[in-house]
Amino acid sequence: MLLGRWPAPSRCKRRLAASVGPWRAAAVQRRLLWHGLCAAHQASREGRREGQPIEVVFALAGLAPRATRRWASRLPVDRVVNQGGGSLGVRLQRQVRRAARDGIDHLVMVGTDLPHLCSADLLAAFGALQHSALVLGPASDGGYWLMGLSPQRQAPRLFAGAHRPIPWGTDQVFVSTLEAAAAEELEPFLLPQRSDLDRVGDLLAWR
């Protein structure tokens, strides 16, 4: 599952837009979104060849339902769902609950701001879920770029925090999530660290 915003000016990449302007920020978001969707589509194709079906779901924010359905018909995805409102933790947990209702065994969630994401990253996460109940990809800014888990377990403290709320948008997100995982008695499998793209300085490594 990929989570992202409708790539329109002033609706996405606000921190980047503060430096480069809303139109350039939206153009960057469109490119990142398409890159992430293509990586997920490729992972799905490779998974099917190996007998491991992977459904590509895009959880979208910032677009009305009718426009969402119209736009989704042009995307390389199996389904588009609405993120809904609330903090990032609330929106993530909503997707976990939706997957649990749908009977999904393994859920991998990533954002759409990962310029170096590839299909191998996603396949590695699904592979790790065969022997680990939780998979995390630490991000260089102190957050995480991927979370994989069994929706049936849910583990609400991963999104609400163990002893204090997860400080979303800060460099303490990953540390707080590890504390929450320990409280849920989950030993995470860690993928390699990756960098996302939020500020103008992050563009320098994206050539």
Predicted TM-score (pTM) of the model is 0.89
The number of beta carbons lying within 10 Å of the beta carbon of residue 137 is 25
Q: How confident is the model over 93-107, as pLDDT tens digits?
A: 999 999 999 999 999
Is the CATH number of domain 2-205 3.90.550.10? yes
Beta-carbon contacts of 158 under 8 Å, excluding residues fewer than 6 positions away, are 93, 134, 147, 149, 177, 180, 181, 184, 186
Q: How confident is the model over 167-190, as pLDDT tens digits?
A: 998 999 999 999 999 999 999 999
Domain spans of the chain?
A: 2-205
Cα 55–Cα 57–Cα 58 angle in degrees, nearest 5:
160
Report how far residue 145's alpha carbon sits from residue 125's, in angstroms, rounded to the nearest whole number: 12
Q: How confident is the model over 3-61, as pLDDT tens digits?
A: 988 776 655 556 666 666 777 877 888 888 899 999 999 999 998 888 888 999 999 88
Q: What is the DSSP letter of 191?
A: P
Report how far residue 29's alpha carbon sits from residue 180's, in angstroms, rounded to the nearest whole number: 30
The number of beta carbons lying within 10 Å of the beta carbon of residue 112 is 25
What is the predicted pLDDT for the residue at 29?
82
CA 144 distance to own-chain centroid: 9
Report how far residue 123's alpha carbon sits from residue 119's, in angstroms, rounded to the nearest whole number: 6
